[in-house]
Amino acid sequence: MEMNRWKQIGTIVLIVILTFELAWLGENPWVLTPKGALVENSAPPLPTLPEETPAPSPTPSPTPYIPVYDEDELWKLAIASIYYPLESEYEVETSIVEGYFFDARAAGALQDMLDAARADGVSLYITSAWRSRAYQAELYENRVYRFQLEGYSREEAEIIGATVVARPGTSEHELGLSTDLLTGEYQVLDSGFAETEAYAWLQEHCTEFGFIERYPQGKGELTGIIWEPWHYRYVGQEVAQYISENGLCLEEYLAQVGLLPE
């Protein structure tokens, strides 16, 4: 009887121990989990990453605006040079501006520019404007002759002379759109004009009236003419401002818009 009672007590103790062990294993499931296996709900969930937002496309840079005239205004862009000579005498209707002929369509702009300069105390005046083919030929021959007197051959004198006075058919004066300007304080057509108050005024204001310095410094290879700070050409206000702001000569602008003669 005593033996049976101890067996019963041992059985009860064993049941109690097994109960506690099973309870402990239930609270610690990783004890029964093979190494490396995943345990459901064993760790807090990973944070959800926000969906990637594509980078915004860069705004394209605006295409620089290049003014271009309609066909009825292309007369403002006529060109005559050693590279693009006129085939025949240029026909143009002229008006008189202070004793000189100028294209009638641009004469008002020239007069307005002269008046504005004088209102600012700058005494600009015209020394040359439209020229006929015959008069241009006379000026050119006189220049060639002067170089011959300096010892140059006729061929050499013609080449050098053409850099100072354009050959007939290659002068913009024949278009009636160009004018040579001087001032009461400086009356010589040379680079010294660039040191005058008049030149400074023209550099600041000529585009307001549609004019450009036609043969700027450093552009001789393109224009075929030496620097002439006194020579101004009407091209219209919009194109004049574009040419000036971008440091171009007329040839470069015409090339940009596809209007340079072949």
The Cα 147–Cα 195 span in angstroms is 27
Which residues does the annotation mark as catalytic?
Answer: 228
3-state DSSP call for residue 231?
A: strand
DSSP 96-135: EETTEEEETTTHHHHHHHHHHHHHTT--EEEEE----HHH
* Burial class for 97, CB neighbours closer than 10 Å (0-12, 13-18, 19+): buried
CB-CB contact of 136 with 171 (8 Å): yes
Residue type, 257: V
